[in-house]
Amino acid sequence: MRPLKVLTVALAMSLLAAPAIAEARPAKPPAAAKAKAHGKAKGKGNPEKREERVRQALENQGIDSARAKQVVEVIKKYRTERTTVQADMKKHRESLRALLESKSTDEAAYKAALDGIDADRKKMVDIQTRQVAEIRGILKPSEQAKVMKLLHRAKQQRGQA
């Protein structure tokens, strides 16, 4: 019975403290908010900073500097290919969205947009497969496992943001 009372009191206190915590946070300065809105927070808009962060993260996982630089070069090589496919996919999604919003009955246009998205997804999978194969040629299996762990963690952090 006692643990239930403690839990109830803790829950009540946390609910009462929530508004106070929310008010205690300082407002974001407009420049920081604007930078985040444009994807420039933490160097997201700067490829050199992004590559340096990736290299540093690889080295923190115990991968030597030379291999980390090779991996970064492979990522850089495939990034340009990915960005063109991503832009094409965005166009297909936008056309599909426009068709849906306009409540169009043009089945051929829907099919073209959907087929374009499917083709772009296949291209992305192909690019990723080639990139992973090239990275596997550089890293030892134990290092590959560390990179997979790092990628999983990064993906989780992107989902929380």
What predicted TM-score, i.e. pTM, was given to this entire model? 0.61
Going along the chain from its start, the domains and CATH numbers come out as 45-160 (1.20.120)
| Dist. CA 64–CA 24, nearest whole Å | 44
Rama region for 61: left / alpha / beta (φ>0; ψ in -120 to 50; rest): alpha
* Best-predicted range by mean pLDDT (29-33, 47-51, 126-130): 126-130
The predicted pLDDT at position 125 comes to 92
| Dist. CA 147–CA 135, nearest whole Å | 10
The predicted pLDDT at position 119 comes to 93
Let me know: does 130 contact 81? Beta carbons within 8 Å. no
pLDDT tens per residue across span 33-87: 555 555 444 445 677 788 888 888 888 878 888 888 888 888 888 888 888 999 9
The predicted pLDDT at position 84 comes to 92
Confidence band, pLDDT 50/70/90 cuts, at residue 11 = low
Half-sphere exposure of 49 (CA within 13 A, CB side): 8
| Dist. CA 99–CA 110, nearest whole Å | 7
| Dist. CA 112–CA 84, nearest whole Å | 19
| Dist. CA 25–CA 15, nearest whole Å | 17
